[in-house]
Amino acid sequence: MLQRVSRASVTVEGEVVGAIDEPGLLVLLGVTHDDGPEQVAWMARKIRDVRLLREERSVADAGAPVLVVSQFTLYGDARKGRRPTWSAAAPGEVSEPLYEAVCAALEEAGTRVERGVFGADMAVELVNDGPVTLLLES
């Protein structure tokens, strides 16, 4: 999920571990069992090139930063009962390398990337710019 933000930060145990203080994107990145290198490349390209910023500009066009936060709960399913299931989310040993690969691919393309801490209990703060939120699935 992409959110156009004016600023955003991630805090773990009271310490800011990643932040952007200018217009850019907050990426909440979930990984499922079928994801692999092909989805990593597609996602990194899409995050960098989608024209979601003001004046129909992309991160690449604007030189804007990206804050990437791992978010397995995007694959939560609460259709039955009162307790969601997370079975569609890939386990950490699968999803962490893919999360890191998306961040690395963005950096290799010249994007400034800030990160959360994979698997940590994070507090995410953001100021929406718009608000604009987009769900991407490869």
CA neighbor of 17 nearest in space, from 132, 138, 113, 127: 113
Ordered mean pLDDT values, 10 residues apiece, the chain (138 residues) = 97 98 97 94 97 97 98 91 93 96 98 97 96 89
- Position 137 scores a pLDDT of 87
- Position 104 scores a pLDDT of 98
Active site residue 73: yes
DSSP single-letter state for residue 76 = -
- Position 116 scores a pLDDT of 96
Active site residue 72: yes
What CATH number does the domain containing 104 carry? 3.50.80.10
Q: Number of structural domains, the chain?
A: 1
Active site residue 71: yes
Catalytic option among 3, 11, 71, 111: 71
pTM of the predicted structure, to 2 decimals: 0.94
Catalytic option among 11, 32, 39, 73: 73
- Position 123 scores a pLDDT of 97
Q: Determine the structural domain holding residue 111 and report its residue range.
A: 2-134
- Report, in angstroms and rounded to the nearest whole number, the Rg of the chain calculated over CA atoms: 15
